[in-house]
Structure 1
Amino acid sequence: MNAPDFWWTRNGTWQAKLLSPLGALYGYMATRRFKYNPRYKARQPVICIGNFTAGGTGKTPFALALNALLKEAGHKPGFLLRGYGGSIKGPLLVEPSKYAAAEVGDEALLLARRGPTVISADRTAGAKLLEEQDISVIIMDDGFQNPSLHKDFSIVLLDAKTGIGNARCIPAGPLRMPFTKQLQRVGLLMVVGEGDASIDQQMAAQQAGINLMHAAIRPVSADALDGERVLAFAGIGRPEKLYASLREAGAEVIETMSFPDHHYFTKEDARLILREAEAQDLLPITTTKDYVRLDGREEQSIARLANVASVLEVEMKIADPDALIERLEPVLDVGRP
């Protein structure tokens, strides 16, 4: 399911109020998981990329950007993630040419193109497998709320436009744990994009002595889309981000089709998208994460959609990359021989 709209309504709606007791229970149980120390500490330093809420804030694009920065600084990063959306529980070293998104998840395929990548529902087991690879630092994509593996440093992404929504826990709101409890474990708060919905959280972080940095998700080579009439489709945490990025790139978004996060497209989905695009002479376009769930599949309609669809590639632009590496150096030095 995609996040319901009432999660992002700051003034409490009746749905949020009705679900608040369940949200309080969820938050309490999530907090209790951190009562005990992590089961395992990896030999290499672990840098965790997380967020306060359910839904997308750009963790995977940020992990890719951090990977590039660390390589430039002489480090050898490897990726660790759950492999959400895939059938394999792991631990497994992902080979992009060998596995499909249905097996390892779309995010794992994207990351595996840039470096050693392990998926594992058990993060401790995954870290042990990744330790065997030629790496010097582990980038943990998501898992900020997972207590099993020790994190040497946690970078939490905060969407400037949405903040933490109505500040309630799942299912009453988007928070995975109460905000104040999560803030205690943040090493660095990375504010993504522009907007004023996250001002309160930024102030709370500064009062707690947590450094703030800024980043933004930007389209790559989007000039060709200027004036293009498109049908945008996406199965990500917040499909609206794709639609907004396309409009910023100058595209004319005529139709949109939103699917649940990590949606595995069916032949019926593909036929619907193709039919609507052809009927209105629109260019079907999607995200990189969605495209890897189409690419290489043999079903005729899906293969045809993969052939005609365009991809809006995006990248995370960190405002001060040198300052970020400088902030991480004490952590990274621990993992050096």
Structure 2
Amino acid sequence: MVYVLTTAFRFIASATIRVCPLSLRADLHSSASSYRWYKPYFYRKVFTTLPTKKEYFTHDWEHLLYEPSNPETISPVAEQLPEFQKLDEKWKTMLSYQFRTKEEEFTDQLNAKLMELGYHPTEISTGATVIRLTMLLRAKKRTAVEHPRNPCLRSAIRALIRTRQRQLRLLRATNMVEFKRLIEALQITGYEHPDPYKLPDTDPVVKRKLATRSECYQMRLTKLAKLKMEFVTTEKAFYKNKEAKINKMLQDLTILDEPYSEATGASNLDVAQRRLEALFQEVIKERQNETLLIPESDRLEWYSREAVGRERYAARLAEKARKQSLRKR
């Protein structure tokens, strides 16, 4: 192989020297023979171990391929032109995909897919990015089926797969409804959400941890069921005890409010009920204040820290001004 390339480059160099003027032959000959201008081509990296089987990227979440348009199909952009219907069949055939590049055909299909799923062709949202990556990935997979021994193409496909996985996870975290709609429309059936607690079950240590976790979960369920049963059985007794205590408190308040009721003419029971309700409201407010004390203090903690910081900053400025005034003396 090296011998063939060397012979070919020497033939090209000699042919160039024959065509060039006499004044340039000396310089060209010296650059070809002394500096060996074709030598870097021999040092390029050659992939000696190329795959012999087609790689279908089993770790991807979908395996559909890009379907090119019919060569006789006319571009939708051309069909929207006002003068299109007046053209002859010959000129209409010139506007079909058999006279356009593959890139233009892919762009038309991509824009049609974006508009079909409710996106503008120039939109850059996460959903539109997922659609673009899916269409590009399918096109490159089809090219990889036709050219399976291209290592750069395989690397590009793997990079696109990882990029689309990140975008799909981002879309799932930000807009679950749109995520479900897109994976159904694009037929991405193999989607897997990474579970941080999903561990391999081949290691005995991991097996023991999983068994312990399931056992603890069952114990929690058992305790919760017992608490529910106890609550159902003791609910009536609890309310009976509360009713007895409240009646006892009403009787005590009735005895205490006898002088007040005699002076005002109201019944002792009504006065006791009003006092008891007022007492309950005070207790509720007190408990609300106790419960909200910590959240309120946390909410106002930033302002207190800011005030302390401002005081310290003002103290540093005052100390700096005092030292400067002493130096001026």
TM range (shorter): under 0.3
- Greater Rg by CA: 2
Structure with bigger RCO (C-alpha 8 Å, 6+ apart)? 1
Normalising by structure 2, we get a TM-score of: 0.17
**Going by fraction, where is strand more abundant, 1 or 2?**
1
**Going by fraction, where is helix more abundant, 1 or 2?**
2
